[in-house]
A and B are shown apart, each in its own frame.
Chain A
């Protein structure tokens, strides 16, 4: 605990609430992401995990509360500064959100190509160095997103997010729909990115095996609030009904052997 207090707070979410018309999705959410920490957010579908992520990155405005990234209050920050802060974030969306009019390699280097001129050869080289770690073949670089499988699209989206080495990673269900082998590859990658100096990550996931592999801390969103938080190990002793439900989705010896 003492060690944690020294760590820098990267993202701080305080008293955030969000509703759509009469549909209250989030109510008084509080949590922090510390430097070097990997946080997993779990919760049933429709519980508001993606909405929370979109509030953090400023695509949705919270009805109340504050969101700080590296001590910058994001909610009413001017557009220019907000954009600058967002550039240090690597984000994936639940459904990939690859640009379907651009080739795979153009998708991957999109952010850095926006800042500096990069020719085709350099661009492909950069993209290649990233996808190699993700178990993807070089021949997909020249294809369009619609020409590769869903699992590959997911990994290309991750490649796009980590291109340029952002310090903060925000992944919305990065392993859903992937086979277990590729899933664990992605988990390793998230771990690797976090263990790099200063890297921190928030991963939204349903996959409990992946929670156990990557997370230092877990929060559960249920009934609009954070109804449980703790370490992956603590989940196994938790009395919380929803946590127990989630735990049942894996067999526990997996965790013991890991």
Chain B
């Protein structure tokens, strides 16, 4: 019994130490990346490639998810709050939920799945096939050439994606409100505009920027620290998606609390 207990303590302790040292490593990586981002040279061509990859190619999936979320929101609000149904309530609930929460979070999670996995796999593959070693011997700093463009592009793209996603989400709500719930279009639009607040947009954009940093940093970190072999790449990919998703959902709470708490 004692043996079992000590064993349990031992493994738990070890896991805990690994966990803490991983967090330490991550923050060193984080600081290091910031240092290299602000130093020239900047590889503009690579930043542009990443912007196309992260921003442009994520549009369909972000558009589709936010559009359906807007529709669902309108429908649920209508069914759930039967007594207070009006253009004003539905429009307001759709707008506020999307701009404050659903737009940024859904976009963040979608991009984490799509781009985070891709970034982690790409960098991990480069790591295990010695391409990162090769970069270093060819007069390039992997941090600047490989990592910095991804972080910069994510920081630019995800806020923009969120703005676009928000618009499409609100449009989704509008479509249901008008064509299914038979609301008056101009009243619905008027209500939407009335409740549109700058602070909500700012909050959503701050979230998006934070998610951008989380997704790109976490994915690059796991990719960069991948161990040899195919499992190394697989582990990096899965971990980066799981960890960045969890961090997105945690940080959205923290940011909400900071703004409205």
Q: Are A59 and B140 in contact (CB under 8 A)?
A: no
A144: chain B residues within 8 A (beta carbon): none
For residue A130, give the distance in angstroms from its CB to the closest CB of chain B: 15
B147-168 interface bits toward A, Cβ cutoff 8 Å, 1 = contact, 0 = none: 0000000000000000000000
Q: Are B129 and A97 in contact (CB under 8 A)?
A: yes
Q: Are B140 and A86 in contact (CB under 8 A)?
A: no
Segment with Cβ contacts to A, from B15-23, B87-95, B130-138, B206-214: B130-138
**Residues of A within 8 A of B (CB-CB), count:** 22
B135: chain A residues within 8 A (beta carbon): 99
B126: chain A residues within 8 A (beta carbon): 99-100
B130: chain A residues within 8 A (beta carbon): 93-95, 97
Q: Are B131 and A86 in contact (CB under 8 A)?
A: no
The chain A residue sitting closest to B145, CB to CB, is A114
A160: chain B residues within 8 A (beta carbon): 138
Q: Are B133 and A86 in contact (CB under 8 A)?
A: no
- Complex Cα distance, B138 from A167, in Å, reads 14
- Complex Cα distance, B131 from A97, in Å, reads 5
For residue A97, give the distance in angstroms from its CB to the closest CB of chain B: 4
Chain A facing B: main interface SS: loop
Q: Are A57 and B137 in contact (CB under 8 A)?
A: yes
Q: Are B131 and A87 in contact (CB under 8 A)?
A: no
Q: Are B139 and A114 in contact (CB under 8 A)?
A: yes
Q: Are B138 and A98 in contact (CB under 8 A)?
A: no
A91: Cβ under 8 A from any B Cβ: yes
Q: Are B139 and A86 in contact (CB under 8 A)?
A: yes
For residue B148, give the distance in angstroms from its CB to the closest CB of chain A: 15
B137: chain A residues within 8 A (beta carbon): 57, 59, 86, 89, 91
The chain B residue sitting closest to A172, CB to CB, is B130
Chain B facing A: main interface SS: helix
A246: Cβ under 8 A from any B Cβ: no
Interface residues of A in 157-178 (CB under 8 A from B): 160
B136: chain A residues within 8 A (beta carbon): 59, 86
Q: Are B129 and A87 in contact (CB under 8 A)?
A: no
Interface residues of A in 66-104 (CB under 8 A from B): 83, 86-87, 89, 91, 93-101
- Complex Cα distance, B129 from A83, in Å, reads 21
Interface residues of A in 95-148 (CB under 8 A from B): 95-101, 110-111, 114-115
- Contact check: which of B122, B134, B139, B140 meets A93 at CB < 8 Å? B134
Interface residues of B in 97-155 (CB under 8 A from A): 122, 125-126, 129-131, 133-140
- Complex Cα distance, B138 from A89, in Å, reads 9
Q: Are B139 and A111 in contact (CB under 8 A)?
A: yes
A242: Cβ under 8 A from any B Cβ: no
- Complex Cα distance, B144 from A83, in Å, reads 14
A115: chain B residues within 8 A (beta carbon): 139
Q: Are B134 and A87 in contact (CB under 8 A)?
A: no
Q: Are A99 and B139 in contact (CB under 8 A)?
A: no
Contacts from A to B (Cβ < 8 Å): 54, 57, 59, 83, 86-87, 89, 91, 93-101, 110-111, 114-115, 160
Contacts from B to A (Cβ < 8 Å): 122, 125-126, 129-131, 133-140
Q: Which 7 A-B pairs have the closest CB atoms?
A: A97-B130, A97-B134, A93-B130, A111-B138, A91-B137, A114-B139, A97-B131
A-B contact pairs, 16 of them (CB 8 A): A59-B133, A59-B137, A83-B139, A86-B137, A89-B137, A93-B130, A93-B134, A94-B130, A95-B130, A96-B129, A97-B131, A97-B133, A99-B126, A100-B131, A111-B139, A115-B139
